């Protein structure tokens, strides 16, 4: 039996997006410290709407321009969804840190597909699966849902999460995300995957 778990951080400032970019690019001390001795810093699978797959600020700007979306003052610019499955599931198909491992590729692709299933088509601005750390089987997905408000497209993470909560019937956003991600993994990755807990997240060596 494998586990699926998730954690979500709300990015409310440009500075947070810039900081997340520096971490993804391994320019900050935390990012540098996570790299395995035998690994190339920044090695992994990554995609974004920007030229640099790990520049989240540029990806966010490209996202806004692409969809013509505005912002709500004080509201999150995007969500960082940290999507986790048991490393053992990835290792069933090969090395945990191999980009050619089909389970790594499936996890990378399905994390983005899952986020867009509730965030909306085109809502994901960047995804990243680090393969330079000791751990693995963790995908960072930056999702910036856009909804219509007074006839105009506006970034609205709160509305997207409220919709997800209603769709899953869960009491709060956290539970809705956990249930939704686990269900998606079970349907699209492996029928043996079940919903994990917050503990699965905190035990992982990942920002």
**What is this structure's pTM?**
0.93
**What's the half-sphere exposure (Cβ side, CA atoms, 13 Å) at 114?**
31
Domain limits, the chain: 2-202
List the one residue out of 116, 124, 135 whose CA is nearest residue 49. 124
| Mean per-residue pLDDT of the chain | 93
Taking phi over 0 as left and psi of -120 to 50 as alpha, with beta for the rest, 122 belongs to left
Decide which of 115 and 1 is more confident: 115
Average pLDDT over residues 84-89: 96
- Predicted confidence at residue 203, as pLDDT, reads 56
pLDDT (0 to 100) of residue 77:
97
In this predicted structure, what is the pLDDT of residue 206?
44
Query: Which CATH fold topology does 2-202 show?
Result: BirA Bifunctional Protein; domain 2 (3.30.930)
5/185 Cα distance (integer angstroms): 10
pLDDT band of residue 204 (cuts 50, 70, 90) is low
pLDDT of 202 over the 60 cut:
no
Q: In which band, very low, low, confident or very high, does the pLDDT at 28 lie, cut at 50, 70 and 90?
A: confident
- Four-CA torsion 25, 26, 28, 29, nearest 10 degrees: 170
Place of tokens 């969500």: 79
């Amino acid at each position: 039996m494998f586990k699926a778990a998730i954690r979500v951080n709300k990015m409310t400032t440009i500075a947070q997006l810039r900081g997340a970019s520096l971490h993804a690019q391994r320019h900050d001390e935390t990012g540098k410290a996570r790299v395995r001795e035998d690994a190339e810093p920044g090695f992994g699978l990554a995609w974004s709407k920007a030229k640099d797959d790990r520049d989240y600020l540029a990806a966010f700007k490209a996202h806004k321009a692409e969809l013509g979306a505005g912002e709500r003052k004080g509201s999150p610019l995007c969500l960082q969804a940290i999507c986790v499955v048991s490393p053992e599931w990835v290792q069933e198909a090969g090395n945990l840190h191999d980009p050619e491992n089909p389970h790594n590729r499936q996890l990378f692709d399905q994390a983005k597909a899952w986020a867009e299933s509730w965030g909306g088509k085109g809502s994901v601005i960047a995804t990243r699966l680090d393969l330079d750390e000791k751990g693995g089987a963790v995908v960072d997905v930056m999702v910036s849902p856009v909804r219509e408000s007074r006839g105009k497209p506006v970034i609205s993470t709160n509305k997207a999460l409220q919709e997800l909560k209603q769709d899953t019937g869960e009491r709060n956003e956290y539970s809705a995300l956990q249930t939704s991600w686990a269900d998606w993994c079970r349907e699209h990755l492996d029928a043996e995957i079940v919903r994990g807990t917050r503990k699965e997240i905190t035990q992982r060596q990942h920002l």
